[in-house]
Amino acid sequence: MTTETADPAEAVGVAPAADPGFLQRHGTTIEYILIPGAALVGALAVFGVFVALFGKNPLDLYFYMYQGAFGTWFSWQNTMTRAAPLILTALCTALPAQLGMVIIGGEGALLMGALSATSIALTMQSAPPLAVQLAMVAAGMVGGGLWILLSGALRQYRGVNETISSLLLVYIALAILNHLVEGPMRDPASLNKPSTREIGAANMIGSIPGTDVHWGLVFGLIAAIVSYILIYHTTFGFAARVAGGNVRAAKIVGLSVGKLILTVCFLAGACAGLAGMVEVAAVQGRTNANLAAGYGFTGILVAFLARQNPLAIIPVAVLLGGISASGGLLQRRLGLPDASVQVLQGIIFVFVLASDAVYGRIGFLKGKS
Amino acid sequence: MADGSIGLWTVPLAVFGGAIRVSTPFLFVSLGECITERSGRINLGLEGTLVMGAMSAYGISYLSGSPWLGVLAAGITGAMLGALHAGICSLPRVNDIAVGIALMLFGTGLAFYLGKPLIEPTAPRLPAIDFGWWSDISQVRAALRINVLFLIGVALAPVLYWAFRTTRWGLLIRTAGESSDAARAMGYSVLLIRLRATMVGGFLAGIGGSFLSLFYPGSWNEGLSSGQGITAVALVIFARWDPMLCLWASLAFGGAAALGPALQSVGVTSGYHLFNAAPYILTLAIMIITCSPKRTLTGAPAELSITR
């Protein structure tokens, strides 16, 4: 868990003698690794103290967290399975962040994506599996995309704050899901847990060969890499970042800020919707309230910890997937409540945001760059 | 219409009773957020504060046997979370909206963690005043069982309205919210004013939480609050940062939130979840109507990051 900080820390100790300009030239990059890493370690330390107050040994805590997250092949697979939707929901926050928007409604887009994907799969039961799966991907992305597009459009055309509207839309999405699952779309056979009918075993997307990790992880990796290229290596991404930096400047050079906002919001929602599709087509097999497992909210944390960089989201999602994967082990071995993962996530989030104050202030990293 | 039954009148009556009961947390959170936002900062973490308040009120009420001690504990917990928010926000280049989201996750997580042993036991609850003694109809009596906290909240709104206009503290908070330079030029510390405003806001939001666990619904569980805190923050925006409008808006919200259970009680069960979403849809609808991309909102504190 602490290895993330060990490497740059060593670099700090060793590099100056070899190359005096190295630290200064790569100061920004080092900061982006060192500061969130230090924030993470600080958060883990505080959580250790917190757990110690309840009479648990913090060293046991760290050991079981490591065990549950990365200790065995089984826990690695568990971690990766949880990282997949986190990458996608984190993109839902990170993409609009390029435009200076704070979207926190990934959970709602995930639910709408799951509902759309399930609906289309249920209407295409006689079609070949590949067609069903492709249709599910498309439906999930459109469903989630339109949901966040709504927040973006409200911001653009009505000046409604996107943070609040996207969060309100989470609760509305949950209400729609509960309504459909307990009413019109309910499978009469689902007694204890109201659910839709199953999409069918043949239509499930299955696991990557040799593992128990489903293909959703590959979807997540592709989405993250495509997003990275889109933002940093295309005119569109450049325009988005210009508009995010200074809306007036963007308008003066003739950029259509409204179009940018709508497109980026749709793409962001499409990522979260894809996460919903993956959860249906690879894990649950149907839509029910289990889907509201909080991936959308943890995704916000992933995006902030990765400083809204799509490539950095991948390792951060694995890390936080690991923390949530270790929750079960912490519950069984240490008797910690299942909410302990949420507490730790909250502490990490607070530390990461507070660490924003430190950027550009570390003396030995200051340089010409 | 049979004896003792009032037929379809049950629905408006239940909505009225619900408006009073359900609106109390909205009222306290929105008044608290109103103070914080008037000082130029937005605290989205009040959702977490609300849940932490509910948990600590229930725990202290259970341990001490006094629900009022629980209310106080909820307020203090809220003020502490407010201080945490203000403390982090006073660091340079830290975004108050993001800190709010973090504290929302942290507050609810911490409340679920600490509140795990509190799901089983029953804590002493807050008493209600029976304003319906004159009526023989049980529904009327139920609707008029009003909690003291609601009355305090109703009284607080005009007091705040008056305080913002005429007291030194009210003016200071507004100065910090309208122009931090002006406040600084007058020799006041903007950070300190905002710290206090956020702590008072957290205190009130915590009390709003204590109402949830100690009066209505009146128990502690993890599904106690589903976005009331964040709805109340949105409510402040279309109440135009005016405490009196916060009061009316909270009542409207309480009524909207009571619609689902009220219809269910007369046998309308289809669409129950959709009716439960009424407060969120109402919030969104009112925000769509009242916001405008062309101008900043009238009455908006100029320093507030959310009205850009």
Chain centroid to CA B197: 15
Residue B124 reports pLDDT greater than 60:
yes
Going by pLDDT thresholds of 50, 70 and 90, the confidence category of residue B295 is low
Higher pLDDT, A40 or B300: A40
Contact (CB, 8 A) for A292 and A39: no
Provide the pLDDT for residue B307.
53
On the CB side of A91, how many CA atoms lie within 13 Å of its CA? 35
Query: DSSP class of residue A293?
Result: S
Residue B308 reports pLDDT greater than 50:
no
- B230 interface with A at CB cutoff 8 Å: yes
Q: Is residue B167 part of a domain?
A: yes
Going by pLDDT thresholds of 50, 70 and 90, the confidence category of residue A13 is very low
CA dist B169 and B148 (Å) reads 27
> In B, residues 143-202, which contact A (CB 8 Å cutoff)?
none
A165/B270 touch (CB, cutoff 8 Å), yes or no:
no
Higher pLDDT, A268 or A4: A268
Contact (CB, 8 A) for B49 and B85: no
Provide the pLDDT for residue A338.
86
CA distance B136 to chain A (A): 37
The closest of B131, B126, B150, B121 to B23, measured between CA atoms, is: B150
Provide the pLDDT for residue B133.
79
Provide the pLDDT for residue A365.
64
Residues of B in contact with A184 (CB under 8 A): none
Residue to test with chain A: of B113, B221, B276, B296, most A Cβ within 10 A: B113
**For residue range B220-242, what is the model confidence (pLDDT) as tens digits?**
988 888 788 888 888 888 788 99
The closest of A139, A119, A257 to A180, measured between CA atoms, is: A119
Task: Output the CA–CA distances (angstroms, integers) from residue B90 to A347, B43, B95, B190, B191, in the order listed.
Answer: 18, 13, 10, 9, 6
Going by pLDDT thresholds of 50, 70 and 90, the confidence category of residue A277 is very high
Provide the pLDDT for residue A20.
58
- A74 interface with B at CB cutoff 8 Å: no
Provide the pLDDT for residue A15.
43
B306/A347 touch (CB, cutoff 8 Å), yes or no:
no
Higher pLDDT, A15 or B98: B98
SS (HEC) of chain B: CCCCCCHHHHHHHHHHHHHHHHHHHHHHHHHHHHHHHHCCCCCCCHHHHHHHHHHHHHHHHHHHCCHHHHHHHHHHHHHHHHHHHHHHHCCCCCCHHHHHHHHHHHHHHHHHHHHHHHCCCCCCCCCEEECCCCCCCHHHHHHCEEEHHHHHHHHHHHHHHHHHHHCHHHHHHHHHHHCHHHHHHCCCCHHHHHHHHHHHHHHHHHHHHHHHHHCCCCCCCCCCCCCHHHHHHHHHHHCCCCHHHHHHHHHHHHHHHHHHHHHHHCCCCCCHHHHHCHHHHHHHHHHHHHCCCCCCCCCCCCCCHHHC
CA distance A104 to chain B (A): 8
**For residue range B67-107, what is the model confidence (pLDDT) as tens digits?**
999 999 999 999 999 999 999 999 988 888 889 989 999 99
> In A, residues 333-362, which contact B (CB 8 Å cutoff)?
337-347, 349-350, 352-354, 356-357, 359
Residue B268 reports pLDDT greater than 80:
no
Q: Which residue of B has its CA nearest to A47?
A: B110
Poorest-pLDDT segment among A167-171, A188-192, B263-267: B263-267
Provide the pLDDT for residue B240.
85
Residue A3 reports pLDDT greater than 70:
no
Poorest-pLDDT segment among A15-24, A173-182, B164-173, B273-282: A15-24
B187: left (phi over 0), alpha (psi -120 to 50) or beta: left
CA dist A155 and A153 (Å) reads 5
Total structural domains in chain B? 1
Backbone angles phi, psi at B167, to 5 degrees: -85, 160
> What three-state secondary structure class fits A195?
strand
Going by pLDDT thresholds of 50, 70 and 90, the confidence category of residue B7 is low
Percent of chain A with pLDDT over 90: 71
Burial of A247 (0-12, 13-18, 19+ CB in 10 A): middle
Task: Output the CA–CA distances (angstroms, integers) from residue B113 to A57, A270, A315, A342, in the order listed.
Answer: 17, 33, 27, 9
- Tell me the residue range of the domain where B244 lies: 7-307
Where do the domains of chain A lie? 23-56+336-369, 84-335
Provide the pLDDT for residue A29.
81
Mean pLDDT of chain A: 89
Class level of CATH domain A84-335: mainly alpha
Chain A with chain B: Cβ pairs closer than 8 A:
144
Higher pLDDT, B208 or B122: B208
Percent of chain B with pLDDT over 70: 95
Provide the pLDDT for residue B165.
94
Provide the pLDDT for residue B15.
83
The closest of A362, A321, A328, A364 to A345, measured between CA atoms, is: A321
B103/A346 touch (CB, cutoff 8 Å), yes or no:
yes
For residue B23, give both structure tokens.
């609106």
CA dist A171 and B108 (Å) reads 16
> What three-state secondary structure class fits A344?
helix
Percent of chain B with pLDDT over 90: 53
Q: Is residue B232 part of a domain?
A: yes
For residue A262, give both structure tokens.
């709508």
Provide the pLDDT for residue A367.
52
Contact (CB, 8 A) for B126 and B211: yes
B98/A357 touch (CB, cutoff 8 Å), yes or no:
no
Contact (CB, 8 A) for A357 and A95: no
Residues of B in contact with A345 (CB under 8 A): 105-106, 109
Smallest Cβ–Cβ distance between B92 and the set A169, A349, A357 belongs to: A357
Mean pLDDT within A306-319: 94
Mean pLDDT of chain B: 88
For residue A185, give both structure tokens.
């779309």
Provide the pLDDT for residue A12.
43
Q: Which residue of A has its CA nearest to B283?
A: A168
CA distance B129 to chain A (A): 33
B291/A160 touch (CB, cutoff 8 Å), yes or no:
yes
Neighbouring CB atoms inside 10 A of A210's CB total 6
B227/A178 touch (CB, cutoff 8 Å), yes or no:
no
Provide the pLDDT for residue B2.
42
Residue B139 reports pLDDT greater than 80:
no
Going by pLDDT thresholds of 50, 70 and 90, the confidence category of residue A14 is very low
Residue B143 reports pLDDT greater than 80:
no
CATH number of the CATH domain containing B22: 1.10.3470
Cis bond upstream, residue A337 (ω within 30): no
- A323 interface with B at CB cutoff 8 Å: no
Mean pLDDT within A123-151: 96
Going by pLDDT thresholds of 50, 70 and 90, the confidence category of residue A10 is very low
Provide the pLDDT for residue B146.
87
- B285 interface with A at CB cutoff 8 Å: no
Query: DSSP class of residue A186?
Result: B
For residue A50, give both structure tokens.
């917190």
Q: Is residue B97 part of a domain?
A: yes
Task: Output the CA–CA distances (angstroms, integers) from residue A17 to A10, A12, A109, in the order listed.
Answer: 13, 10, 51
Mean pLDDT within B205-230: 89
Poorest-pLDDT segment among A200-209, A358-367, B54-63, B176-185: A358-367
The closest of A137, A102, A145 to A120, measured between CA atoms, is: A137
CA distance A17 to chain B (A): 33
> In A, residues 239-268, which contact B (CB 8 Å cutoff)?
none
Mean pLDDT within A96-117: 96
CA distance A92 to chain B (A): 15
**For residue range A41-92, what is the model confidence (pLDDT) as tens digits?**
999 999 999 999 988 999 999 999 999 999 999 999 999 999 999 999 999 9
Q: Which residue of A has its CA nearest to B307?
A: A161
CA dist A109 and A136 (Å) reads 15
> What three-state secondary structure class fits A140?
helix
Residue A6 reports pLDDT greater than 60:
no
Contact (CB, 8 A) for A144 and A272: yes
Provide the pLDDT for residue B127.
87
Tokens 């909270």 belong to residue: B250
- B116 interface with A at CB cutoff 8 Å: yes
**For residue range A188-243, what is the model confidence (pLDDT) as tens digits?**
888 888 899 999 999 999 899 989 999 999 999 999 999 999 999 999 999 999 99
Burial of B285 (0-12, 13-18, 19+ CB in 10 A): exposed
What's this model's pTM, rounded to 2 decimal places? Answer: 0.88
A168/B283 touch (CB, cutoff 8 Å), yes or no:
yes
**Rounded to the nearest 5 degrees, what angle is found at the Cα of B111, between the Cα atoms of B84 and B229?**
70
Mean pLDDT within A299-310: 93
